[in-house]
Chains A and B, each alone.
Chain A
Amino acid sequence: MSDPVTATEKSSDNPILWVAKPMVTAARQFAKSLVRPSTVIYPYERLEDPKFRDQVRIESGKPIGVGPIWDNYRGVHALNIATCISCNLCAFSCPDLCIEMVTVPGGDPKHPKKCPQIDYGKCSYCGFCSDACPEGCLTMTTRYELSVTKRSEMVYSPQKMFGIYEQKLPMHPIRVERPANEDQILLEPPLCIGCNACARDCPTQCITMLDIPKPEAKAGEKVPKRIWKEPVVNDSDCVRCGTCINVCPKECLFWGNRK
C-alpha cells in the first residue's frame, strides 16, 4: 500500500507539472484580475468609498472608517488637550524620538502645561505613544492623507492634533493591554531634603508631602538642615511616568517594589 502523502509527492515529480502547475495558477489569477484587480486606484478611488463597502467589510450604517480593516489602523494622532496630564509617557515611549513636549496655553504660569508635538517626518506610526497614554487622550485615527509641501508642516502641534480630535474621526478603538507596571516609586529617606519638587510636578497629584518628626540632635552631631517632610506616593493614582524621579534634586527616588 502506498502512503498517500508519498503518492502526492510522487505526482509532483513529473517535470511537465513543474511547468504546467504554476502556469495554470497564473492563468487563474489572470482571469480573476481581468474582472477587477485588487488595487484601489487611489487618487480617483478611495477605500472609504461606498463601492468598497463589501471589500472592507463595513457593516452598513457604521461610519466610514469603522470595520475590520480599520479597527487597528494607525493614522494621524488625535489629542485631547483637556485631559492630557503632561506626564511625558508618550515622548518617553516613542522609539523614533519624534515627540516633543511643548507648552500649551492654559496651564499654571509657574508650571506650564506641556502636550506632545509630533514630527510626522520621523514618526513610524507604531502606536506605542497611544498605548502608553494613561489618560487615553492621545489616540490614533484612520486619517492617512498627510502630504505637505514643506518640511515644517510635517510637525503637528498639540493644537493641530486637537483640531483632528474635534473632527471626531473614528479612533483606534483597540488599546493594547500591556502588562501592568508593578514597579513603584520608592524613597531613600536619608537623602531626601523635603523640597516638594516631586509633589509639585506630579501630573496626577498623587504625591503628598507628610510631616516627619525632627530628630533630636545627638552630642557632637549636627542635625541636617532640611525641611522635615517626606513624599508619600499613592500607588493607585500613580501612572508611573517617572517625572518625580527626574525632578528630584537629590536622586533619592527610585523604581522598586515594596513587596
Chain B
Amino acid sequence: MSSATLYSVSYFLVNYVLTHIGSVLPAPLNAWITNGDLVTGLAVLVFGAILLGASMINTIVLIWWERKLLGRFMDRRGAMHVGYAGLLQNFADGFKLFRKNTFRPREADWLGFFSGPTAYLVTSFVIFGILPISSGWNSGVLPLSLLLALAIFSFAPLFIFVSAWSSNNKYSLMGGMRSAAQMIAYEVPLLLAVVAVVIVSGSFDLTTIVYEQQNYWFWGPLFLALVVFVAGMLAEMERIPFDLPEAEAELVEGWNTEYGGMLFAFFMLADYLRALVGSILVVLLFLGGWTMPTWVPSAATSFPLAGIFWFMVKTYLVFGLFVWIRASLPRVRTDQLLRVGWNRMIPLSLCAVFLAAALVLAKCVWPFGCLPSMGV
C-alpha cells in the first residue's frame, strides 16, 4: 500500500507553490508565507476543494448515468442534446436552478428552512473525506473510518425532519415523518450487515477491509450480508421502491415540497451524493474496492490510475443496479416497508453475522479460500 494520501498530495502542492513564491519575496513576507500553519491551512482548503470538485462532478455525471440508463429501460434515449450524448444537460439544469429565486413560505421557520438543506448537503459531502478511493489516493488513514462514515451517513433523518417540519406544510411533515421512520428502521440491518464484513475482515478501517479482499471479494462468502446491505442502502437513499418519503402520488414531493431553486438543488445533489456514497460503500465492503478482477492482465494493473478506474467502473455498475431496481419495482407501502425492515431484514442480517462468525472460526471462507488475516 502506498502511503501517499490525497491530503499529503495537496500539502505537497501548497508547500511547493508557497516555497517558490517565498523565494522571490523580501525578508518579512518570506518568513510569513512559508509559515507551517499557513501551509497546513491552505493544504486543508485545497484538499477540500479537490474533494468537492471531484464529488460534485461525479454526482452530476451520476445523474446523467441514471437518466441514460432509465431511458433505455423505458425504451427511449434519455438526455442527448446538450453536449456529447447529453453529458452537459445536468450542468445546464444545475445552472438554471442556481439562477432561480430562493424563497420560503411566509409561515415557515427561517432557521430550519435554510439550515436543513445546507446541513443535509454538507454532511453528505463530508463522507467523501473519509472514503478511500484508491490505495494511493485515499484521503487519510483513519482506524475507524467505516464507523465514522456510517455515523455521518445516519445524520440525514435529523436534517430531513428539521427541514420538513420547518416548511410548515402537511405534506412535508408527513414526508419527514416517513423518512425518519424508514431511515431508523433500516439503519439497524444496514449496520448489522456491516458487522458481518467487520467480523470477517477484522477491521473498521476501509483501507484494511479492501486489502483483505485482494484475493477474494466478500460478495461471495457474505452474499446474505450483501443483499441486506443493498436493500438497506436503497431505503437509506430513499430510492424506488423505498421512496415513500417522496411518494409523488400521495405527498406532493414529500419533505422537499416547499423547496425550490438552489435549495431544491441542494436536496437533489445531496440525494445523489448519498447514492454515490452508497454505491462506493457497496464496492468497498463487498466488491473489493480498487482491487482488479483476476482476468485483468498483470500488465494492465500497473497503470498509474488503474485502481481508480476499476473503482469507478464498479461504482457506476453498482449504481446501475440501483437504477435497474428503480426501473423494475413498484413502490411499497409504509406498513410493508416497516414490516420487512423489522421482521425480515434484522433476522436476515443476524444470520449474516452468524455466518461471518462461522467463517472466521473455520478459518476459511470455503469455497473461496482464505483471507490474508486468517493466516494460511
A binding-site residues for B, Cβ under 8 Å: 19, 22-23, 25-27, 29-30, 32-34, 37-39, 41
Whether B76 pairs with A23 at a CB distance below 8 angstroms is no
What is the CB-to-nearest-CB distance from B325 to chain A, in angstroms, rounded to a whole number? Answer: 7
Q: A26-B324, A27-B324, A41-B80 are in contact. Are A19 and B75 (CB under 8 A)?
A: no
Which residues on the A side are within 8 Å of B324 (C-beta)? 23, 26-27, 30
Contact partner, A39, options B77, B325, B327, B330, Cβ 8 Å = B77
List 4 other contacts, CB 8 Å, given A19-B328, A34-B72, A37-B76. A22-B328, A26-B327, A30-B324, A38-B75
What is the CB-to-nearest-CB distance from A33 to chain B, in angstroms, rounded to a whole number? Answer: 5
What is the CB-to-nearest-CB distance from B97 to chain A, in angstroms, rounded to a whole number? Answer: 26
Size class of the contact patch on chain B: 10 to 19
Give CA–CA (A22, B72) in the complex, Å.
15
Which residues on the B side are within 8 Å of A34 (C-beta)? 72
CB proximity to A under 8 Å, residues B32-74: 69, 71-74
B87-110 interface bits toward A, Cβ cutoff 8 Å, 1 = contact, 0 = none = 000000000000000000000000
Whether A37 pairs with B71 at a CB distance below 8 angstroms is yes
Whether B77 pairs with A26 at a CB distance below 8 angstroms is no
What is the CB-to-nearest-CB distance from B180 to chain A, in angstroms, rounded to a whole number? Answer: 26
Give CA–CA (A32, B72) in the complex, Å.
9
Offer 30 A-B interface pairs, CB within 8 angstroms, sorted by A: A19-B328, A19-B329, A22-B328, A22-B329, A22-B330, A23-B324, A23-B325, A23-B329, A26-B73, A26-B327, A27-B324, A29-B74, A29-B75, A30-B69, A30-B72, A30-B324, A30-B327, A32-B75, A33-B74, A33-B75, A33-B76, A34-B72, A37-B72, A37-B76, A37-B77, A39-B75, A39-B76, A39-B77, A41-B77, A41-B80
Which residues on the B side are within 8 Å of A19 (C-beta)? 328-329
- Chain B residue with Cβ nearest A21: B328
Contact partner, A33, options B72, B80, B328, Cβ 8 Å = B72
Which residues on the B side are within 8 Å of A41 (C-beta)? 77, 80
Q: A26-B324, A27-B324 are in contact. Are A38 and B329 (CB under 8 A)?
A: no
Which residues on the A side are within 8 Å of B73 (C-beta)? 26, 29-30, 33
Give CA–CA (A34, B80) in the complex, Å.
15
Main secondary structure of the interface of A (DSSP, over half): helix
Give CA–CA (A26, B330) in the complex, Å.
12
- Chain B residue with Cβ nearest A19: B329
What is the CB-to-nearest-CB distance from A209 to chain B, in angstroms, rounded to a whole number? Answer: 65
Q: Which 4 residue pairs spanning A and B have beta carbons closest together?
A: A26-B328, A22-B328, A23-B328, A33-B75
Which residues on the B side are within 8 Å of A39 (C-beta)? 75-77
- Chain A residue with Cβ nearest B231: A19
What is the CB-to-nearest-CB distance from B22 to chain A, in angstroms, rounded to a whole number? Answer: 57
B71, B74, B80, B325: most-surrounded residue (chain A CB, <10 A): B74
- Chain B residue with Cβ nearest A20: B328
Give CA–CA (A26, B72) in the complex, Å.
10
Which residues on the A side are within 8 Å of B328 (C-beta)? 19, 22-23, 25-26
What is the CB-to-nearest-CB distance from A6 to chain B, in angstroms, rounded to a whole number? Answer: 24
What is the CB-to-nearest-CB distance from A39 to chain B, in angstroms, rounded to a whole number? Answer: 5
Give CA–CA (A26, B71) in the complex, Å.
12
Give CA–CA (A23, B240) in the complex, Å.
13
